[in-house]
């Protein structure tokens, strides 16, 4: 496995410029068919490691994590516009976290990582369902400072 930095928001290989909305997320329900994602889905799947992510609900930010455990989200990469870019695959949310947002990154269990990366497109399609409710029950969700909404803020208190 190789870890490489990428710009957030996929630039498909055929894109001529960076106009238009960034492709931050790819819906699992349509990722294999949509022109913006289908080529990357066939051959350029990746893992997006994260120790957590922020989600806003009722104008309040929440930090979602597995405590000290790393999470792996299904992703796609491309080298459109001569730069490495990436997006995250999402699915419908599931309980008990559905109250926070109607979408959820397609987190991968450890035994799914190789299939996502190296399996055929058909095998990857079989993985485009929401993560199990049992897995989601392990998530910790806590409200955090609204300072997280400004990229200029970078201090340890953001997670308090």
Question: DSSP state, 2?
Answer: -
**Where does the pLDDT of residue 146 fall: very low under 50, low under 70, confident under 90, or very high at 90 and above?**
very high
Alpha carbons 42 and 107: distance in angstroms, whole number: 19
H-run or E-run covering 133: helix 133-136
The parent domain of residue 128 ranges over: 7-159
For residue 47, being part of any structural domain is answered with yes
Residue 83 is assigned to a structural domain of this protein: yes
Tell me whether residue 125 is in a domain. yes
Name the domain count of the chain. 1
Percent with pLDDT over 70 in the chain: 100
Entry pTM? 0.92
**Percentage with pLDDT > 90 across the chain:** 85
Is position 105 within any domain?
yes
- In this predicted model, what pLDDT tens digit does every residue of 59-93 receive, in sequence order? 999 999 999 999 999 999 999 888 899 999 999 99
Q: Is residue 1 part of a domain?
A: no
pLDDT tens digits for range 105-126: 999 999 999 999 999 999 999 9
Read off the pLDDT band of 17 (50, 70, 90).
confident
Q: CA angle, 121 as apex, 33 and 6 as ends, to 5°? A: 80
What's residue 1's pLDDT? 75
Coil vs helix vs strand at 122: helix
126: left (phi over 0), alpha (psi -120 to 50) or beta: alpha
CATH number at residue 99: 3.90.1680.10
Average pLDDT, the chain: 94
Checking phi first, is residue 34 left (phi over 0); if not, alpha (psi -120 to 50) or beta?
Answer: beta
Question: How many beta carbons lie within 10 A of that of residue 50, not counting itself?
Answer: 16
Asked if residue 2 is part of any domain, the answer here is no
Query: Is 116 within 8 Å of 127 (Cβ atoms)?
Result: yes
């Amino acid at each position: 496995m190789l870890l490489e930095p990428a710009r957030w928001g996929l630039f498909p290989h055929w894109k001529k410029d960076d106009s238009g909305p960034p492709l931050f997320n790819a819906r699992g329900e349509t990722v294999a068919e949509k022109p913006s994602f289908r080529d990357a889905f066939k051959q350029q799947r990746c893992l997006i490691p994260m120790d957590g992510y922020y989600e806003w609900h009722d104008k309040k930010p929440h930090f979602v994590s597995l405590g000290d455990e790393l999470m792996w989200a299904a992703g796609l990469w491309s080298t459109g516009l001569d730069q490495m870019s990436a997006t995250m695959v999402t699915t419908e949310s599931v309980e008990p976290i559905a109250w926070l947002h109607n979408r959820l990154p397609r987190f991968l269990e450890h035994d799914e990582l190789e299939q996502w990366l190296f399996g055929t497109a058909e095998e990857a399609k079989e993985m485009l369902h929401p993560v199990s409710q049992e897995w989601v029950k392990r998530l910790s969700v806590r409200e955090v400072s609204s300072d997280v909404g400004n990229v200029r803020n970078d201090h340890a208190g953001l997670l308090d």
